């Protein structure tokens, strides 16, 4: 049985793609230009969490009583 090794890369390459493609080329694709949309989605999720987390705390408190 082989032992897993740690890598300095943010992914595990299972030889499905070349390392060069994953390290360099993939970031050039249009699909990766989504920072603004990701920031908007994160802000929306944070506001929903803040809105709903009070309900979770009330439910948890009732369940422990």
pLDDT digits (tens, 9 = 90+) for 14-53: 888 888 888 889 889 999 899 999 999 999 999 999 988 8
pTM for the predicted model, two decimal places:
0.49
What's the confidence (pLDDT) of residue 38?
Answer: 95
> With 90 as the cut, is the pLDDT of residue 4 above it?
no
DSSP state of 16: S
Q: Where are the domains of the chain?
A: 34-65
CA atoms of 25 and 27, how far apart (whole Å): 5
The reported pLDDT for the residue numbered 17 is: 82
Q: Are 13 and 22 in contact (CB under 8 A)?
A: yes
């Amino acid at each position: 049985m082989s032992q897993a090794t740690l890598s300095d890369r943010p992914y595990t390459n299972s030889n499905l793609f070349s390392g060069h493609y994953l390290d360099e080329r993939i970031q050039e694709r249009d699909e990766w230009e989504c920072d603004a949309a990701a920031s908007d989605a994160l802000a929306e999720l944070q506001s929903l969490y803040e809105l709903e987390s009070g309900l979770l705390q009330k439910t948890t408190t009732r369940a422990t009583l």
